[in-house]
Amino acid sequence: MKDPDAINQLWKGLLVDHIGMRFVETGPDRVVAEMEIRDQLRTLSGVLHGGALMALADAAGGTATLLNLPEGVGTATIESKTNFFAAGRSGKVRAETTPLHKGRSTMVWQTRVTDESGKLLTLTIQTQAVLTK
């Protein structure tokens, strides 16, 4: 297990860093990340872009997989489905990722993204391939 600061350093300079995503809890069965809603992440109508929400969920699920892999093994998203329930308007959003399946060749993760009031914005289910050399 790595602490959140070490995980945030892994993502430094990459998409996660650019969208302002920050990991706050990083364990093998639960990953939590937050992201501030800011103007660069909004749609023309002023709400948080669905792509930003999907990127948040994808990075959280991918990171959760990495935390469960042996040294030298990688991962890639091979399937992802997101349901949108409400728009993010202001403040922070929080992604909480938990496992549905942790196998030798695939892992499946569920990520719930909520706003500061706890309102569910999205639910993402993604499958990560376990890539051995």
Kindly list the domain boundaries of the chain, sorted by start residue. Answer: 4-131
Query: CA 105 to CA 132: how far, in whole Å?
Result: 9
Per-residue b or e along 31-52, where b marks 16 or more CB atoms closer than 10 Å to that residue's CB: bbbbbebeeebeeeeebbbeeb
Which residues have CB under 8 Å from 82's CB, separation 6+?
Answer: 50, 53, 54, 57, 122, 123, 124
The architecture that CATH gives domain 4-131 is: Roll (3.10)
Q: Does the pTM of the predicted model rise above 0.85?
A: yes
Residue-wise pLDDT tens digits, 62-115: 999 999 999 999 999 999 999 999 999 999 999 999 999 999 999 999 999 999
